[in-house]
Structure 1
């Protein structure tokens, strides 16, 4: 009986020993102490930050493109306005030249008509 008791105690000591060693090897870390909710919140926060940074860079790129477009349009508008003014000046010059030619033709035609009338009168006078 004594032998059985000692054997039972030895057995129970061996049975307890791995549990004691096992419990000593486990230690609490910061990561292990987080709950599932905290872990999910942390991952969601990281994803949110990455998406936010990506969107911010996309917005900045869009703003730069908008500014570049505005500058290009402003330069193009100014150039088109200068070309339009030059065209208007040339058109006005052409109109003035045309008016002068018309006046010259009228004057020449008037002189020719008077000369023709004078010659017709001379011819009529000679004929009579």
Structure 2
């Protein structure tokens, strides 16, 4: 083959020179060996992975926010229940106290009314005794 190439140089130097230059300058690399379709597929794959990672990150952030909200609402619910029970207990105590005070006042009023009635009866008897 070498001798054939040398003979072609002797015969026509222009035909050998471009073939020689092209064969030395062209080299095969991984990127150069890909077709346009393969390159587009690679870019699309990279974009797909980046979008997927972004969506996964957003989903995880949403889940964390949901958990945080659940915790906050749970503690708020517990606090509200505790306050509600406290208010209920206070209302019951006040109601019981009011009932007791009412009973005492009614008892006092009955006593006062009873005493007043007894006094009226006594005075009535006195007046009736003097009149007779």
TM-score with structure 1 length normalisation?
Answer: 0.86
State the Cα distance separating 1:12 from its structure 2 match.
Answer: 3.0
C-alpha separation in 1, matches of 2:14 and 2:124: 160
Equivalent residue for 2:123? 123
Aligned counterparts, 1:44-123, within 5 A? 44-123=44-123
State the Cα distance separating 1:30 from its structure 2 match.
Answer: 1.5
Equivalent residue for 1:18? 18
List per-residue Cα deviations over 1:35-64 (Å, max 9, x = no partner).
Answer: 111111000000011111111111111111
Equivalent residue for 2:28? 28
C-alpha separation in 1, matches of 2:22 and 2:38: 27
State the Cα distance separating 1:15 from its structure 2 match.
Answer: 4.7
Task: Tell me the SS of whatever aligns to 1:41.
Answer: helix
Mind listing any 5+ residue stretches in structure 1 that lack a counterpart? 1-8
> What number of residue pairs does the alignment pair up?
120
Q: RMSD value over aligned CA atoms?
A: 1.7
State the Cα distance separating 1:11 from its structure 2 match.
Answer: 8.4
Runs of 4 or more off by more than 2 Å in structure 1?
A: 9-12
